[in-house]
Structure 1
Amino acid sequence: MRALAPALPRSVQRVAEAVAADPAGCSALTVTALAEHTATSEATVVRTARVLGYPGYKELRLALAGLAAQQEAGTAPAVTADIAVDDSLAEVVAKLAADERQTLADTAAGLDLSALGGAVTALATARRIDVYGVGASALVGQDLAQKLLRIGLIAHAHTDPHLALTSAVQLRPGDAAVAITHSGTTVDVLDPLRTAFERGATTVAITGRPDAPVAHHADLLLATSGARESELRPAAMSSRTGQLLVVDCLFVGVAQRTYETAAPALAATHEALAPRHPPRHTVR
């Protein structure tokens, strides 16, 4: 629901938000009562159920009743409250930890393993790899690129939009490009991905909005969770957690696929960096 909400009409959002906030209460309401409760229409309630993947409101209502029972038994996923300005540090730590655990669980549950396998193959066999991202996504892109470099692959993370386009123009079939954008609409990420796609490179998009424009130029789509946002917790904080999980899955998959070359390369990088991290000596 958090991933879909920004792209939904406001009337559908109202129904979905009511359902998410009080599954037990909404499960007791008829379609007419829920429409009245959300100041919408019966058609909007049915439409919301279908957007969420149910044939109709009857099926959604049954699912809500099941979720309510899980919540009562304490077996349902926890939904943390927003961080308040007067929360103690202990409360902040607890809320952030719970929210990030949920982001990881949601991302893992929704990850398309077929697309992930295709992305692993594309990166493992690529002549060179471009990674595009800006802002918080740029940090995730740099993490992916440096990991791939350490196992001997040619990978570069581009945060400058002009350099990203310049590099994308040089790609061809047999290369790969990875775009990281939570919104799926960031122009500085879309433009180089589109160019890479047009040049014949295999394109991968890591995004929290599978229906966003980035999907139009992605051969492989990897969806993340983490759209929960509040005044003191911007979406970039939560989305980064899901993105890093996907990046780690990609890296481990590529390392497994290229183990014969990856293992020696990784050992060599450890050896090269070891002199820069001498052991600490105890001062007596």
Structure 2
Amino acid sequence: MENIIPQMEAIYSSFTPLEKTIADFFIHNDEKKDLSSKSVSKKLFVSEASLSRFAKKCGYKGYREFIFCYKQYESGMNRQQASDNIKLVFNSYQELLNKSYSLIDEAQIERIVKILTEKKRIYVYGKGSSGTVGTEMKLRFMRIGVNIEAITDEHIMKMNSVLLDGECGVIGISISGKTETVIDSLKAAKKCGAAVVLMTSRKEKKFEDFCDEIMLFAVKENLERGKDISPQFPILVMIDMLYSRILRTEGFRRRETLHEYTMEALDEK
């Protein structure tokens, strides 16, 4: 079983508190020391019998087989060789991540986070795959207290301008930078006094006329396997940067409490 750590992560929720302690040790272990049952049981303050039961729950005959496979996984000896096609797809993702990293502007992230956290209402405009990302962004950010709404219908985008003022922030997502409905709606938002952010892979001087921030994300078209990559991926990377930064803001404690409350409410449903 070459996927021993992913396997543990997949069934992690079914573990008892004691089994989670054992699983955490092996998932996050960076020591190459003695992993015998006697040594590990002393380190974790669990019995050797508990280690054996844990190994069986993970699908192994016992702790010996578990630790044998674990060591092989760690050394990479037990991994199957991926096909050239799979390697190329993974390489494309890696290249996109590298490009995304080179585009990161931490000062800009701070400014956009300020809009997200200080404006009373946030609207995200997007169509197609960009609209899907907008909806995902709404679901994530509302859980930490951002008053955010995603709009994917072009008619509602146009009508929404009557609700905008200086206390609003509008984020438009357009991979090509040519989605007329989104671009026109951002222009209207700017006239209403809203803070405007455009997330796009295309940089044009004219965007500066109606955008406070232009957040660029990497393009996938020039990659060898670019067509195999989800168009949402580079946008989600940038959204993760914003989300991560909000989690580290001073006012996040209140949002964290709201997030926990939201999760509890969802669990009750």
Category of TM-score, reference length = shorter chain: 0.5 to 0.7
8 Å CA contact 1:169, 1:195 repeated in 2? no
8 Å CA contact 1:107, 1:224 repeated in 2? yes
Instruction: Give the corresponding residue for 1:243.
Output: 235
8 Å CA contact 1:205, 1:215 repeated in 2? no
Q: d(CA) in 1 for partners of 2:217 and 2:143? A: 25
Aligned: 1:207 with 2:194:
no
Instruction: Give the corresponding residue for 2:173.
Output: 180
Instruction: Give the corresponding residue for 1:197.
Output: 190
Superposed CA deviations along residues 21-63 of structure 1, whole A, max 9, x for unmatched, are xxxxxxxxxxxxxxxxxxxxxxxxxxxxxxxxxxxxxxxxxxx
For 2:264, which of 243, 259, 271 is the aligned residue? 271
Mark the CA change 1:216 to 1:185 in structure 2 (over 3 Å): closer, same or farther.
farther
8 Å CA contact 1:225, 1:239 repeated in 2? no
SS where residue 232 of structure 2 aligns? Answer: helix
8 Å CA contact 1:141, 1:157 repeated in 2? yes
Instruction: Give the corresponding residue for 1:58.
Output: none
Instruction: Give the corresponding residue for 2:213.
Output: 220
Amino acid in the other structure paired with 2:255: A
Q: CA deviation at 1:215?
A: 4.3
Q: d(CA) in 1 for partners of 2:231 and 2:90? A: 14
Amino acid in the other structure paired with 1:223: L
Q: CA deviation at 1:163?
A: 0.6
Amino acid in the other structure paired with 1:266: H
Q: CA deviation at 1:134?
A: 0.9
Q: d(CA) in 1 for partners of 2:86 and 2:122? A: 37
For 2:141, which of 145, 148, 151 is the aligned residue? 148
Q: d(CA) in 2 for partners of 1:246 and 1:168? A: 26
SS where residue 157 of structure 1 aligns? Answer: strand
8 Å CA contact 2:92, 2:225 repeated in 1? no
Count of equivalent residues: 187
Instruction: Give the corresponding residue for 1:62.
Output: none
Mark the CA change 1:98 to 1:243 in structure 2 (over 3 Å): closer, same or farther.
same
Amino acid in the other structure paired with 2:237: L
Mark the CA change 1:231 to 1:161 in structure 2 (over 3 Å): closer, same or farther.
farther
RMSD: 2.2
Mark the CA change 1:202 to 1:145 in structure 2 (over 3 Å): closer, same or farther.
same
Aligned: 1:91 with 2:84:
yes
Q: Mapping of 1:75-114 within 5 angstroms?
A: 90-114=83-107
After superposing on structure 2, the runs of 4+ consecutive aligned residues of structure 1 that deviate more than 3 Å are 89-92, 212-216, 229-235
Mark the CA change 1:214 to 1:240 in structure 2 (over 3 Å): closer, same or farther.
farther
Q: d(CA) in 1 for partners of 2:265 and 2:127? A: 30
SS where residue 138 of structure 2 aligns? Answer: helix
Q: d(CA) in 1 for partners of 2:115 and 2:199? A: 14
Q: d(CA) in 2 for partners of 1:185 and 1:213? A: 12
Q: CA deviation at 1:123?
A: 0.6
Q: CA deviation at 1:167?
A: 1.6
Q: d(CA) in 2 for partners of 1:170 and 1:268? A: 29
Q: d(CA) in 1 for partners of 2:206 and 2:162? A: 20
Amino acid in the other structure paired with 2:108: A
Please, which runs of 5 or more residues in structure 1 have no aligned partner? Answer: 1-88, 277-284
SS where residue 176 of structure 1 aligns? Answer: strand
Moved more, 90-99 or 198-207: 90-99
Greater radius of gyration (CA): 2
Mark the CA change 1:162 to 1:212 in structure 2 (over 3 Å): closer, same or farther.
farther
SS where residue 167 of structure 1 aligns? Answer: helix
Mark the CA change 1:213 to 1:95 in structure 2 (over 3 Å): closer, same or farther.
farther
User: Percent of aligned positions with the same letter in both sequences?
Assistant: 24
Instruction: Give the corresponding residue for 1:168.
Output: 161
Instruction: Give the corresponding residue for 2:247.
Output: 255
Instruction: Give the corresponding residue for 2:21.
Output: none
Please, which runs of 5 or more residues in structure 2 have no aligned partner? Answer: 1-81
TM-score by length of 1: 0.61
Instruction: Give the corresponding residue for 2:112.
Output: 119
